[in-house]
Amino acid sequence: MIRLETHFNLNRILLLAIGLWPYQQSNFTRLQFIFLSTILTSSLIFQCTPFISQKCTLDFVAKILSSVSFFALFVIKYNMFGINIEAVKDLLEQLQLICNELKDKNEFAIINEYGCSARRCTAALTICAICSLPALIVAQFWSSILNNVLSINVSQPYRLPIPMEYFVDQEKYFYWILLHLNISFCIGATAMVGIGTTFLAYYQHTCGMFKIASYRIKHAMSNNMLQNINFQNELLIFEGLIWAVDIHRQAMRLTKHLQSSIQSMMFCIIVFVVASVSFNLYRIFQIIHADDISLNNVKELIMPIICATITVLYMFLSSYIGQYVTDHNHNVFVTVYNVRWYIAPLHIQRMILFVLQRESKDFVLTVGLFVVSIEFFATLVKTSVSYFTVMYSTK
């Protein structure tokens, strides 16, 4: 018997840290969710308040929205997952029930293989998130570090890595404001990695189910079965094909169920992903082509580069997993086509043709009218660059 908890160990740790692990929802974790959500949302609000206190120009708006659009991804991801946490729990329980019904050691090996792959992806993305923290610290304390290195005695004013307005003396409360910003960033980064890798691991397991469907078809239509056709073997072939169709149908159902549960979340994220890349690209080019290049300009480059890089990576991984699911479903069709169905009895051929007909239609993940695939990633990047070009041309 497979215990999915072992495949989601690191995901569980990440989600427990921010009160979002579906299986351990108590009053304390609900309070934890409300508290962390308040910190995250308030950080986003204080990034928008400079619109109230300062004059708005295109450059200023782009500067504010470059960070706001990025932090909005954190807020959307965290809160919408919290709202749909019961649906996620139900999906994980259904996945566990399907794993409990696997037939032999080869099928267990397939699911374990995909579970190990999911754990490796989770570990790699967690390490990347941890490694980005030093870059954030350097961005925040660049001036102080530089003053010490160059032995400059002139005191520099405190500057936040992104524009924020708390309507208090920012010099006096600088470290408290910086603490609030850093805590918000850590909550958001943990949410992005924890939630994203949980969805990735879930889809990895559904892809494992597609592979099991292919395995069952190959096993049912093996040469030994087809060369020794008798009543018992015919029953075994029918039973094997029924099991293959059943797990394939369940894989599609679970995939579509998760997709429908996070549809609104993903649509909002697409809007802010495009906005984040566009505004951060504009901000990068705005700093690079500034007339007065200084060390402070170099410091200001770090944050938009980090935001743009993380957003593009997130777009790519989301699109890749959609392509991954589509390819695994297509492999089931290829498997059915390649088996020696033409030497089977006529009534088995009819059943195979039924499966071929069902598989001839592509199974894809969609967000609204968009098909999630590598081509979709290219479209998002092209759209982001187009909006950036329009903004930059109006400068």
The 10s digit of each residue's pLDDT in 225-241 is 566 666 677 777 778 88
Element (H, E) at 367: strand 366-367
Q: What is the pLDDT of residue 114?
A: 92
Mean pLDDT is lowest, of 16-25, 85-94, 295-304, for 295-304
- The strand pairing partners of 367, in sequence order, are 370
**Mean of pLDDT values over 87-93:** 90
Alpha-carbon distance 326 to 125, whole Å? Answer: 23
Alpha-carbon distance 74 to 117, whole Å? Answer: 25
Give the model's confidence band at 195: pLDDT under 50 very low, under 70 low, under 90 confident, else very high: very high
Mean pLDDT is lowest, of 229-233, 313-317, 357-361, for 357-361
66 Cβ contact list (under 8 Å, min separation 6):
276, 279, 280, 282, 283, 304, 307
Alpha-carbon distance 240 to 19, whole Å? Answer: 43
Going 366 to 372 to 373 to 376, the CA torsion angle's sign is positive
Alpha-carbon distance 311 to 274, whole Å? Answer: 9
Alpha-carbon distance 228 to 379, whole Å? Answer: 52
Alpha-carbon distance 159 to 124, whole Å? Answer: 32
Give the model's confidence band at 302: pLDDT under 50 very low, under 70 low, under 90 confident, else very high: confident
Give the model's confidence band at 194: pLDDT under 50 very low, under 70 low, under 90 confident, else very high: very high
What is the CA 381 to chain-centroid distance, rounded?
16
Give the model's confidence band at 293: pLDDT under 50 very low, under 70 low, under 90 confident, else very high: low
Most confident of the ranges 215-229, 268-282, 287-301: 268-282
Q: For the chain, how many structural domains are there in total?
A: 1
Looking at the predicted structure, is the pLDDT value of residue 155 above 80? Answer: no
Most confident of the ranges 129-143, 176-190, 334-348: 176-190
pLDDT > 90 fraction of the chain, expressed in percent and rounded: 34
Q: Residue 118 corresponds to which tokens in the numbers above?
A: 């999911």
Q: Which of 128, 52, 44 is nearest to 306 (CA)?
A: 128
Give the model's confidence band at 138: pLDDT under 50 very low, under 70 low, under 90 confident, else very high: low
Q: What is the pLDDT of residue 55?
A: 79
More confident position, 369 or 194? 194
Alpha-carbon distance 395 to 390, whole Å? Answer: 9
Distances (CA, A) of 320 to 95, 212, 246, 266: 22, 21, 26, 15
Looking at the predicted structure, is the pLDDT value of residue 101 above 70? Answer: yes
Structural domain boundaries, residue 278: 4-393
Looking at the predicted structure, is the pLDDT value of residue 143 above 60? Answer: no
Alpha-carbon distance 152 to 142, whole Å? Answer: 13
Mean pLDDT is lowest, of 59-63, 214-218, 292-296, for 292-296
Q: Is 345 helix (H, G, I), strand (E, B) or coil?
A: coil
Looking at the predicted structure, is the pLDDT value of residue 210 above 70? Answer: yes
Q: Residue 32 corresponds to which tokens in the numbers above?
A: 């934890």
DSSP string, 12-51: HHHHHHTT--TT---HHHHHHHHHHHHHHHHHHHHHHTHH
Give the model's confidence band at 219: pLDDT under 50 very low, under 70 low, under 90 confident, else very high: confident
pLDDT tens, residue by residue, 333-354: 888 888 776 667 776 777 777 7
pTM (2 d.p.): 0.88
Going 372 to 374 to 380 to 386, the CA torsion angle's sign is negative
Task: Give the Cβ contact number of residue 340 at 10 Å.
Answer: 12
Alpha-carbon distance 226 to 362, whole Å? Answer: 29
Q: What is the pLDDT of residue 211?
A: 93
Looking at the predicted structure, is the pLDDT value of residue 204 above 90? Answer: yes
Q: What is the pLDDT of residue 364?
A: 83
Q: What is the pLDDT of residue 137?
A: 67
Q: What is the pLDDT of residue 276?
A: 93
Looking at the predicted structure, is the pLDDT value of residue 299 above 80? Answer: no
Looking at the predicted structure, is the pLDDT value of residue 147 above 70? Answer: no
Give the model's confidence band at 199: pLDDT under 50 very low, under 70 low, under 90 confident, else very high: very high
- Mean confidence (pLDDT) of the chain: 83
